Amino acid sequence: MAAQDDYMTLTRVGPGTPMGALLRRYWIPAAMSEQMPEAGGAPVRVRLLGENLVAFRDPEGALGLVKEHCPHRGASLAYGRNEVGGLRCLYHGWKINAQGSVIETPAEPPESTFAKRICHPSYPLHEAGGIIWAYMGPPEHMPRFPRFPWLDLKPPHLLVAKIYQATNYLQGYEGDLDPAHPNFLHRDLDVEENASWGGAGWNSVLQLMNDSTPQIHCEETPYLFRVAAVRRSRAHNMKYVRIFEHCAPFYSYIASGPHEMQLFKAWHPIDDNSCYTFYIHFDPHKPIDAAAAYRNWGHRTSPPDYRPAQNIENMHLQDRARMHRNFSGIDGAALQDIAMQESMGAVYDRSEEHLGISDKAVIFYRRLALRLLRDMEEGKPLPGQDSELDFIQRGAACDIPDDRPWQEALRWQEQYERAHPASSAA
């Protein structure tokens, strides 16, 4: 198991850190499209990987992401005038374009050329799926933008939620690597009412409650790795398999059953101590019940900060009187996760933890991530960056025969979906 020093290496994401350098080699979420709804609108502050930045959509619709503070005297460009070709600082009128070039210095003599030698930090952006993505790494290593299959969907077939969390991103991401915790943290004790998971169209989650000690399997893939949780099934001679597909650097397809809404999760490391989680719900075949999804996950928030009302100071509004119906007394699966992860502190001292068999995927990922840091330093290929990858991944949650390998679960699920079209699915 990685030592505490190794774990801290994985949580530090600022400039000049090993993990920060690795994350900068990928396209990662920077903002929601709804934060900049109109061309020429107000710039938006973005803190990402420990850097203070400003994103903007200029009057012609072009996107830009630059360091927040003007290279002249440090005034914030978040206050700047959003003009064609760039942001103009209010202090002395310097104008900086999306490429970080200083194109006007009106307070300087006409013959002055010193600003032409200034390179203001800037990063390329790509807008897709209701999200504005940034690449913050070396230009010569910029990968092809990953064409996730949900990117071209629109509401009501797509629902994107963003929520703040007062921990480092890894503390949150490791929740996605833990297939045993839903049996406890996300359990509805009043199963017959079925208002949470069933109400959101995720009846497959109810099936996992039959077995709280899954066998956990991990397998490296060209994208990153996959995790399978194999449980006993109530069906004779069958086992219940849930597969989570992960794509570098921190994307995951959560297990979902036949004809169920799918969930893709992404992370936005603000700095070493805080992050945003993006929940991308999608269904190409039928509209998403947005109200049910928000009710089930509790992740409905608003710009500019996307902070939920629940936090560590108010015990995440835990209602102990409701714990006879809801295991945690906290409403919303996302908020249940956040509550446990924030309760550890912003960065938990991992030398104090005692990992067991149920933590197999967490251990697997930590070792894999440390190896990827070495691979990056040695110039080796990184996962999820092969230009031949199609990025067509999917989680699975279904029964398969006891004598079949767990890797066949998605094939069995897709066979079921073909035999039982969504229109006739229960």
List, in sequence order, every residue forming a beta bridge with 228; answer none if it has no partner. Answer: 217, 243
Please give the Cα distance from 394 to 245 (Å, whole number).
Answer: 6
User: What six digits make up the tokens of 32?
Assistant: 């929601």
DSSP, res 142 = P
Dist CA 94 CA 105 (whole Å): 5
What six digits make up the tokens of 79?
């206050």
- Is the Cβ–Cβ distance between 289 and 201 less than 8 Å? yes
pLDDT at res. 210: 87
**Could you give the angle at the alpha carbon of 245 between the alpha carbons of 32 and 335, nearest 5°?**
50
Helices (H), 43-184: 169-176
State pTM to two decimals.
0.95
Domains and CATH numbers, the chain: 27-141 (2.102.10.10), 158-424 (3.90.380)
DSSP-assigned letters across all residues of 343-362: HT-SS--GGG----GGGHHH
Nearest to 34 by CA among 155, 139, 124: 155
pLDDT confidence of residue 194: 52
3-state helix, strand, coil in the chain (%, to 5): 25, 25, 50
Phi, then psi, of 18 in degrees rounded to 5: -60, -45
Q: Which residues of the chain register pLDDT less than 70?
A: 1-3, 190-196, 199, 423-426
317 within 8 A of 309, measured Cβ to Cβ:
yes
| DSSP three-state, residue 86 | strand
Report yes or no: 231 and 237 within 8 Å, Cβ to Cβ. no
Q: Are 151 and 129 in contact (CB under 8 A)?
A: yes
Tell me the two tokens of residue 223.
């994208």
- Which residues are registered as beta bridge partners of 230? 215, 241
DSSP character string of 250-277 = TEEEE---TTPPEEEEEEEE-SSS-EEE
How far is Cα 381 from Cα 394, in angstroms, rounded to an integer? 23
* pLDDT the model gives residue 191: 57
Tell me the C-alpha distance between 159 and 180, whole Å. Answer: 26
Phi-psi region of 192 (alpha: psi -120 to 50; beta: other; left: phi over 0): alpha
The answer to whether 91 and 75 have CB atoms below 8 angstroms apart is yes
Residue 352, Cβ density class (10 Å: 0-12 exposed, 13-18 middle, ≥19 buried): exposed
**Shortest CA distance to 198 belongs to which of 283, 261, 273, 277?**
261
User: What pLDDT shows up at residue 204?
Assistant: 86
User: What local confidence, expressed as pLDDT, does residue 1 receive?
Assistant: 43
